[in-house]
Structure 1
Amino acid sequence: MIGAKSGFNDNGINWPDDSEGGYRVPYSVFMDENIYREEQKNIFRGPSWSFVALEAEIPNRGDFKSTFIGDVPVIVIRNGEGGVNVLVNRCAHRGAAVCRKLRGNTSYLECVYHSWAYDLDGNLTSVPFRRGMRGKGGMPSDFSMAEHGLKKIRVQIVNGLIFATFRSDTPDLEKYLGARMVGAIKRIFNREIEVLGDERQRIHGNWKLYAENVRDPYHASLLHLFHATFGLYRSTQVGSCVMDELGRHSLLVASQGTSSEDDDEDAYSDQRSFNSKFVLQDPSLLKGKRDFDDDISLVILSIFPNLVVQQISNTLAVRQIVTYSPNEFELVWTMFGYEDDDDEMRRIRIKQNNLIGPGGLISMEDGEAVELVNRAITHGSGDSSFIAMGGGKAESADHLITEGAIIGFWQHYRELMRI
């Protein structure tokens, strides 16, 4: 197993021995500035596919969205032929951001600093005063417009989800995702979608704490009182948490209504997160309709390094992780339904979206939990977490009391980071 031995690496991180049956993560890996810089190089600009947008966000030619891969600013744009480009949002002249809006539609891209202009494929098309004025100044005679376009990043798409990678040797997207994760994507993105809106949440914590959180079914019915109280998710339900063969991606699923009253009372009798006497003043919040042919009511699909795809009852969304520093990241939530939703279903989705996002009845606790950890470990140099629920190994599970997918994340992380 990767990380079975302790010791210091070149970054000065002491990864503890995990021979006692659990897995330990040194707190310094969340705080170290050098580690953060290495992550940008080895993960976000390394051999990984990062999610950047939904095709439904840029349906028309000239539509664009500005976003990030790690902390590199990029533009996702639909070109004149209807294809999708991902371009580094940095002018080839002096490095200024070319695109300053979050989204919109344009026929060309222009840097406000010196008005260098680019077409929708990132090709440089105009340089003011390129030939000088009255025979003086201007660019060198051998200046080539073709050699000074915006940097184009490799793009692949699966069922309307756009991914990009800086590396030419990254395996094709579907191979990178693996058959199980591709199947989970195709289950949710089974027809044309309609974007309902988005929200942005700045969290003062390390992005890897959130990567742990979404791979952790153990916390979901303990931290999230709403989940357990109203039966959306309980650890007693039928469910599973499985990974791809490298442990980097995970798929958590559960089925509402599959636990018995006796099981719930036994499991949660001494937990603050369960009180069967609570009722909603507006029960229509949880009134839903069947979306899929199966009985799965909850899906948390975590794709390394920066994507979460969710189904919680009738709420459908993608969450994109954007990194800013060791102690700050942003979640970009994009909620969607299907183009063929009737008016009733659209109203249901919009109302249930109150469950998620930074102020959601469920999701707000995750951001708070990340910040609680981040504050407490700031001065924890030399200490580490202990991850052992489910056996302390990176193994898929046919139940919901496991932390195996967290360990899988860390093992893949360490391979890429060489620590």
Structure 2
Amino acid sequence: MSKLGTETTEIISWPEEGVTRVPYQVYMDPSVYEQEQLRIYRGPTWNFLALEAELPQSGDYKTTFVGDTPVVVTRDRDGEIRAFVNRCSHRGATVCMDSCGNTKTFTCVYHAWAFDAKGDLKGVPFRSGVEGKGGMPEDFDTSKHALHKLRIETFCGVIFGSFDPHVMPLQEYLGEKMCGYIRRVFNRPVHVLGYNRQSMNNNWKIYFENVKDSYHASILHTFFSTFGLNRLSQRGGIDMDDTGMHHVSYTYGSSNENEDTYKQANLRSFNSKYKLEDPTMLEGRKEFADGITLAIQSIFPGMVLQQIHNTLAVRQLLPKGPEKCELHWTYFGYEDDDDQMTTMRMKQSNLVGPAGFVSLEDGGVGELVQRGIVRDKDKSSFVEMGGKTVQSQEFRATETSIRGFWKRYRELMGY
């Protein structure tokens, strides 16, 4: 056993090859999961909570999670964004049970302790007892019983929270490159179009690897290559921040260049003769001057920002145990979109989400990994596509951003 923080965990025998190998134990060990909650989600990281567009008015709130800790995000009466743990400071009951809404006061149903939008305690029933009997002690101080508050910062209308009071400023955490890509999408006010949620029977890290794995798309997602939305022969690459923990995979336009690569490999998707009954689903507008038509950005430890043609969304990855996780999708457009553009975004949203023509496979392939490794925690995966380094690359047949994730993960976990 090795000492990590204030708890102990089983020693991880990480292969000497480093981030080009990942021991399967990290995907299934309960003690590893517990340490992740402490060292990553309660550690020096910034976690996506919501979009400011979801909380336009004072009193608006949304319930969410940081790791597996329930959290409420609010806009208080002064217009400030706040967040606190969704756990009553009295006996630990969940305070807010709705997914979203508007309120001046959060009241625990158990004993009716009442809190304002800042998380401060404002009311305690029977504080003075009944007919002079019982009640709270004379030294009871409501200011000492506020809900557990998170540190909050926003960037381009995206709300992040952290449990670590000493975490570096958000923009420093994101880095100059990643800030640029976020500004690219959140370049003007947005409005929310809708939500999806899905549960997956696999460790959260398997899905986050999938997001960072750019070269599986042309193989696993037959819809992509069948209809020419995304092929590895198209111009694109991987951009990473200086630490390697965040990444962007980007593709420029559709192209017929180098299709011989697909013919020679005899990939099933290229040889498909299927056609869309309604081809208008793939009609779109060019709305980004840089010519990028597909961009997938990951922010460690669990945010994904996507632009797939005209479909814009934020995905929030939430761990729910060693072998289970959830993915929450928030779809959005711009406030100045005309009706035609909104319809276009909604129609293209059929590409993604739990049952999307593209994303459906991502929700299932993780479970195949979880099944396959069940009795072999001493074995490791092999992560050498595109080399052994952690760096930006001007091609997408690579696993460099996966290696970047494991580099930062090991630093935080002490492996």
Q: TM-score, normalised to structure 1's length?
A: 0.95
> How do 1:260-271 residues align onto structure 2 when only pairs under 5 Å count?
260=257, 263-269=258-264, 270-271=266-267
1:266, CA displacement in angstroms?
2.5
Cα distance between partner residues in 2 of 1:130 and 1:416: 44
4+ long deviations beyond 3 Å: none
1:203-214 paired onto structure 2 within 5 Å: 203-214=200-211
Residue 296 (structure 2) aligns with: 300
How far, CA to CA, are the matches of 1:405 and 1:332 in structure 2? 22
- Select which of 306, 312, 326 maps to 1:316: 312
Distance in 2, Cα, partners of 1:204 & 1:381: 17
Q: Corresponding residue for 2:403?
A: 407
Give the aligned partner of residue 46 of structure 1.
43
Kindly provide the amino acid, as one letter, of the partner of residue 23 in structure 1: T
- Which residue identity lines up with residue 10 of structure 2 in the other structure? N
1:29 paired residue number: 26
Q: Quote the Cα distance in structure 1 between the aligned partners of 2:91 and 2:9.
A: 34
User: Within 5 Å, which residues of 2 pair with 1:4-19?
Assistant: 11-18=10-17
| Aligned partner of residue 259 in structure 2, secondary structure | helix
Contact 2:27 2:322 in 1 (8 A): yes
Matches within 5 A, 1:212-231: 212-231=209-228
Task: Write out per-residue CA displacement over residues 204-243 of structure 1, whole angstroms, 9 at most, x where no aligned residue.
Answer: 0000001111111110111000011111110011101121
**Paired residues of 2:9 and 2:35 also in contact (CA < 8 A):** no
SS in structure 1 at match of 2:254: coil
Pairwise mapping of residues 334-353 of structure 1 onto structure 2 (< 5 A)?
334-353=330-349
What SS does the corresponding residue of 1:136 show, helix, strand or coil?
Answer: coil
Match of 1:5 in 2: none
Give the Å deviation of 1:276.
6.0
**Amino acid in structure 2 at the alignment position of 1:132:** G
Equivalent position of 2:136 in the other structure: 139
Distance (Å, rounded) in 1 between the aligned partners of 2:116 and 2:168: 29
Task: State how far apart, in whole Å, the 1-side matches of 2:10 and 2:228 are.
Answer: 45
- Counterparts of 1:399 and 1:325, CA distance in 2: 35
8 A Cα contact 1:206 1:327, kept in partner: yes
After superposition, the CA RMSD in angstroms is: 1.2
Question: For the structure 1 residues 380 and 268, does the alpha-carbon distance in structure 2 shift closer, same or farther, using more than 3 Å as the test?
Answer: farther
Choose from 93, 97, 107 the match for 2:94.
97
Query: Is the 8 Å Cα contact of residues 228 and 255 (structure 2) preserved in structure 1?
Result: no
Gaps of 5+ in 1: 1-8
Bigger drift between 311-320 and 269-278 goes to 269-278
CA shift for structure 1 position 278: 3.0
- Out of 115, 118, 122, the position equivalent to 2:119 is 122
8 Å Cα contact 1:238-1:259 kept in structure 2: no
Deviation, 1:379, is: 1.1
Write the letter of the residue equivalent to 2:259: D
Counterparts of 1:377 and 1:58 in 2: how far apart (Å)?
42
Question: Does the residue aligned with 2:150 lie in a helix, a strand or coil?
Answer: strand
Question: Which residue pairs with 2:3 in the alignment?
Answer: none
| 1:51-104 per-position Cα deviation (integer Å, ceiling 9, x unaligned) | 010111111111110010001000001100111001110101000010001111
- 2:364 counterpart residue number: 368
Measure the CA separation in 2 of the matches of 1:244 and 1:292: 22
Q: Please say which of residues 268-277 and 241-250 is displaced more in the overlay.
A: 268-277
Residue aligning to 2:281: 285
What code does the residue aligned with 2:261 have?
D
8 Å CA contact 2:33, 2:322 repeated in 1: yes
Q: Distance in 2 between matches of 1:276 and 1:357?
A: 23
Give the Cα separation in 1 of the matches to 2:207 and 2:356.
Answer: 16
Counterpart residue number, 1:82: 79
Task: Name the % identity.
Answer: 50
Matched, 1:59 2:53: no
In the alignment, structure 1 residue 356 sits paired with structure 2 residue 352 = yes
Give the one of 199, 209, 230 matched to 1:233: 230
Distance 1:284 1:379 in 2: 47
Offset, 1:172 = 0.3
Q: State the match for 1:6 in structure 2.
A: none
Q: Are 1:331 and 2:327 an aligned pair?
A: yes
The amino acid that maps onto 1:390 is: G
Q: Do structure 1's residue 398 and structure 2's residue 394 form an aligned pair?
A: yes
Aligned mates of 1:319, 1:100 — CA distance in 2: 22
**Post-superposition offset of 1:169:** 1.1
Which stretches in structure 2 are left out of the alignment for 5+ residues? 1-7
Contact 1:231–1:256 (Cα < 8 Å) also in 2: no
* Inter-partner Cα distance in structure 2 for 1:174 and 1:258: 35
Within 2, Cα distance between the matches of 1:291 and 1:107?
39
For normalisation by structure 2, the TM-score amounts to 0.96
Letter in 2 for 1:155: I
Deviations 1:24-67 (A, max 9, x none): 10101100000000000000000000001011111111111001
Can you list the C-alpha shifts for 1:275-297, whole angstroms capped at 9, x where unaligned? 36432111101000111112100
CA distance in 1, matches of 2:151, 2:261: 52
Within 2, Cα distance between the matches of 1:396 and 1:14?
28
* Whole-Å separation in 1 of the counterparts to 2:362 and 2:331: 18
Number of residue pairs aligned between Structure 1 and Structure 2: 407
Structure 2 Cα separation of the partners of residues 268 and 380 of structure 1? 36
Whether 1:167 aligns to 2:177 is no
Mapped pair 1:194 → 2:203: no
CA distance in 2, matches of 1:278, 1:398: 32
3-state DSSP of counterpart to 2:320: strand
